[in-house]
Amino acid sequence: METATENRKRVLSFVQSSGTPTLGNYLGAFRNWAGMAAENDCIFGVADLHALTVRNAPADLRRRSIEMYAWLLALGLDPEKNIIFLQSHVPAHAQLAWILNCYTAFGEASRMTQFKDKSKQHADNVNVGLFTYPILMAADILLYNPDQVPVGDDQKQHLELARDIATRFNGIYGDVFKIPEPYIGKKGARVTSLTDPEKKMSKSDPNVKSFVSLTDTNDQIAKKIKSAVTDSEAAVYFDAEKKPGVSNLMTIYSCCTGRDFAAIEAEFAGKGYGDFKAAVADAVVAELEPLRTEYERIVGDKAYIAACAKTGAEKAARLAYRTLNKVMKKVGFYQV
């Protein structure tokens, strides 16, 4: 995939190698990626360079990077039809990031809200990499001249920064970078914590009952769903403000069964939360079990993962260095 084919867009998406994805990650984004790849020329990257903004045991970082790559393959993303690679395997990311650092105003970088949030979470390790993280993200994007980039609410500001940097650079040197647009595809579900439905479901939550991990066993899934916070009314209907716990479980059930909220309310009219939670647990198990089985098959085949990652990095590097070389020529580096 050298260039986006006619009538197809080039879409770029990165996922961090920061741990096992959750049910929220899957229903919110991952489940839609196979469909996105069928309609577009897609590039998927595991953002392992970004993982260094927090301290990692080397063995843990390596393992998580391999596991996240295996999840991408398990989702049904074809490594022959898509570019699927690890960010650290293409040094052009770090090279372009340094150049873009020099075209980003300090004030722009200091306004990034995620830096402020992460600084509070990791007050003992507020490093420069955490501050310049969005500029590396801009490099990740601009290297591949994508038409579109899927972004969640927490990443919109970073895409805007990438667009601003690209516009500034183009204003100085001419038409170098394509200005990417946000990808508006099938909207994923917003799944919240099982123990505190006011918060997003997160794998970093210290309470393991708050999230369903994609590697959880069927029994673990059932126990977590059945212990999820609801309320004392014992009536199943959707009201995100008054019944956030029940509404969250209805969202999950709707995603896994295809039933809309009206149908779910009718299905459980006159029934208690015990019946409802049992049905939600069964639906989640049915949704995730085939995915987990495929992941376990792939992650156990280290040779296959290595071969796919090597080929993916080679394909990515061809695109990335084409852009980087153009940038280096424009800014005035001597090239031989």
For the annotated catalytic residues, the residue numbers are: 118, 200, 203
Task: Name the nearest CA neighbour of 281 among 216, 329, 201.
Answer: 216
- Beta strands (DSSP E) in the chain are 10-16, 41-47, 83-86, 148-149, 181-182
> Are the CB atoms for 26 and 65 separated by under 8 Å?
no
CA distances from 87 to 13, 94, 118, 244, 253 (A): 11, 9, 21, 38, 35
Q: Which residues, in sequence order, are CB contacts of 89 under 8 Å at separation 6+?
A: 309, 310, 312, 313, 316, 317
Q: Which two tokens stand for residue 266?
A: 């009718």
Residue 294 CB neighbours (<10 A): 16
| Contact of 216 with 248, CB cutoff 8 Å | no
Alpha carbon distance 142, 135 (integer Å): 10
- At 146 the three-state DSSP class reads coil
| Residue 44 bridge partners (DSSP) | 13, 84
